[in-house]
Structures are given as C-alpha cells and as structure tokens.
Structure 1
Amino acid sequence: MINTKVLFLGSNATQIELRGGGSATIGQYLNETVVPAMALIEAGYDVVLATLDGTKPHIDEASDTVQHFGDDQAAYERARDFFAEHPAMNEVHTLALVIEQGLDKFAGVFVPGGHAPAVDLMQSSEAGAILRHFHAAAKPTGLLCHGPVAVVAALADPAAYRAALIEGDDAKAADLAKDWIYAGYRMTVFSASEEKIAEEHLLKGELYFDMPKALRLAGGEVSAAPEDFAANVVVDRELITGQNPASDHAVAKAMIAALGGPPPAA
C-alpha cells in the first residue's frame, strides 16, 4: 500500500528574541503553510498537521496579505478559507502523538516558514526525532523560508546549539554540531540580506543570529538566489529547501515530484 500522508510540522511560537532585549511578534506564514498543503491535497495526498503543544499555529500578520499570493485576491481568499476551515489545518496533533502513533505511515514531512520555527522547532528534541526518522528512511523532507533552520533539531542537543548561537559562541556551536546527519547537504534558507530587510521593516530590531549562519555552523552547504526574494529551491537527496515566501509554489512542486507525483487512484 502506498503511503499518501504528509506530515506538516507547525510552530506555536509567537515571539522571537531581539538583540539588546525585547522581542518581536512573529508566527507562521500563511502562504508558506497553505500553498504547499493545498498543492499536496490537490495531488492526492493527505496532510496531517502537528505542533509541539497540539494547538493551531499562529499566522504572522505580515503574511496575511494578498501580496503573498501574487496580488490574486481570489487565491488569497481561498488560502484564508482553507486555513480557517479545512480539517487538515484544524485537526492538529502534538509532535509526541504522531511519534507515538508511528511515523512509517507518512510518505514525507514538510516544515513551513515564518520566523516561528527558529524559536521552537529548531530546538525541539521531538522535531529532531521526526527529522532523523525521515532522513534514515530517505523520505522527502521539505522546508521553506525560515523552516529549513528546523533541521538543526536533529542534533544531539539542539537547545544547547541554539543557546550557543544566541551567545555568539561559534566554536561551541560547531562543537555541538558534530555528527549532524545533514552535514555536507546542499540547502537554502531565508538569506542574511533578506533578514536585514525583515529586521528593519517587520521585526524593528536585530536577531541574535541569521538562518544561513545557523545552518553553516552545523555543516550545511548553504546557498541563496542572486536576487533577494526571488524564488529558489535546492534539492539534495531527500532534503528539499525553499529560500523565501516566493518559493512556495516551487517547493510544493519539488515536494510532490520527490514523493513520486500524484499517488494512483484508489
């Protein structure tokens, strides 16, 4: 029997620390969540959403705009309705429960972006256990925008790794990253130059670390598109990473291709 379920790892984070004190309100990006989910469902897959505490992810207000849907009002409204009403977005499980019930039934895993995964998922031992499972099984592992930083959760002590990044202790972080399962993988993530723009216009403050640094210190081969906010997807073995919000459709297409295309009709 062909597995047709795809696990979505959502985030519950609503605040991210800023250098010098204070925090910024964040969440998960609407388009980065619903565009891949809707594409997978249209292709014949079932999407199962799970978060650390089992509650629905908070959508970052900065993403709740028609601009992230190509200024297509109808597409934007479909996306909002999908997130508000579709069972795939509202029947939320905990990460612990999906692990307990067994990960073998899933054909792949996907992590949407927004800054939220850089707070909770990247230091979650449960997210790490899930990622290690899909890595060992060589099953498609898709991540978008800030979502790719979640792969550091597969480290032995991801919380200590994130703390070292915040402390600015690169040597300690690199030491904690020994034997990382994704070392040497080619990948992309929200770039440092894109982050500077987000810090100025959205966060109104500076983050303690940017996402490329977090992945490079762990051993990732990180690249970015020549132009900020241009769509960019990198595929290396089972890992499928998209750089930014504009990569939503492209990463969904790559994910479906890696899954083998639409499953056969029952």
Structure 2
Amino acid sequence: MTNMVSVTVENIQQVVDTSMQQPLVFCFTSSQAPESMQMLGQLQTINSRMGNFTLAHVDCDAQPQIVQYFRIQGVPTVIILKEGQPVDAFSGMKSDSELEQALKPHLPSEVDMLFEQGVVLLSEGKASEAVKVLHQAYTLEPSAIVAKAYAHALLDNKQNADAGEIIASIRLEDQDGEYDTLKSKYQLALEAADSPEIRQLFATVEAEPENMTALVELAVALHGAGRNEEALEHLLCVLKKDLAAGNGEVRKSLMDILSALGQGDPLAAKYRRGLYSLLY
C-alpha cells in the first residue's frame, strides 16, 4: 500500500511536518507532461515496496502557489525533505534503478526501521514483540546502540541469560552511562530471579523428589522469573521417567510454558522436540 498524500495549500504545512518522523518525497507533476505522471507511478511502486518514506504529490496545474513557493521550473521534479528541510532535488525522468539510487542516501535502512519499531514497542511495554523486532535488527547490524536496546527488551521480557550475553558483547569504548544503567538493571533482574520462594521450592523438590505439586510450582515460579530453560529441563527430566507424572499436571505445565514462549522461540522449539520424542 502506497503511503502517498495529495498536497494542497491547505495541508502543506501538515505534510511538511511529517518529515520530522520520516523522509518526505515531493513529486511535482502536470497533465501537460505525461512523463511526470510516469515518474509518480515509479515512486508509488518504490514506496509500496520500501515503505520508508512519505510520498507527497503536487498537481502543478491545480496548485500554482505551491509551484511558485518551491520555484519549480519544470516537471517531473522531485524534492526530498528531512526534518522540515530540503536535502536533495532533481528534475527529469529517471529509470527505476536511478530513482532508487537517488533516494537511498536519504532513506532509513532496514536496520534503522527495525530499531525504531523495536524502541517504540519497548516504550509501549510490549517487550515480547520488541525482542523479536530488535533481534532482527541485531542480526543485521550488531552495533552498540542496537545491542543496548535489544538487551533492555530481553531483560523486560525476563530473558536474563540472553541479555547477559548481549551485555557482555558490548565493547569497552561503547560502555557509557546507558551501559552502566543496563548492567544495574541486569543485576537487579538476576537478584529478582533468585527469590526466597524459588530457593524454598528448590529445597522442597530436592527433599521430596516425588512431590509433583512442588515441582510444578517450582516450574511456574522459574518461568515467572524468566528462568525458562531451568523450568523446562526440570519438567522434561521427570516426564522422561513418567509421562503421566502428577496425573498429567507435569506435562500440562511444560506445555503451558511452551505455549507462553510462542512458536518462534528457539528454546520452546528445543523442548517441544524433546516432548514429541517422548510422545512418539
């Protein structure tokens, strides 16, 4: 779907304001120059595929005041704005590849888009979704700024072990104030994940290995603290000996945790395979 707006004298300021969020590409056309409409079509196609800029169409025949304001000498003309300021302009026809090359230096990369999306999700408290998006960004470009945001998302999603690995990978020259905050957040998460309740449940399970109620309670507590691999491992070890352990409650608990982790989670995939190997 094309992100395009038709520009008029009434809405031009509102349209220009959108360049504060993402690049704005003005395309000036005229019915007296059919090739200019071809250029608009090319830009619409690129916009539909890339989606990382707003396309603003100015009909020069209907909007002479805007034409005069931008001092347009001929069509097609393209003007690119970022943060309210023109950063590039060109006139005349271009091939699709030439258009893309002309736009590319001014458009956010895939990593930039994923990073911004992930940060917004994180600010909205959608940690699980933020982890998925920032993981993609980190895979494409493991820069310090992406790594820090990714680690924050992992900690908010209680994936402490994964967050610890990311934090450890941040180079000395990138260890600034935000890094210190991240380290403190990580330490607090580790302390919270080793609560007195969990320690007591560990002691009960060790003293009473046949107490399946305590085992399930321990798994639930570990899952709540983000210690998912420990929770799943304890449950699967028991299921390897007895698939019906705890009248089916152990198996149900494992499946509940797998479901909570989701289909795309690699840890869930690992333990789902382990469970299936016992069932089949």
Structure that is richer in helix per residue:
2
- Relative contact order, CA 8 A, sep 6+: which one is greater? 1
TM over 0.5: no
**Bigger Cα Rg:** 2
TM-score, normalised by the number of residues in structure 2:
0.23
TM-score, normalised by the number of residues in structure 1:
0.24
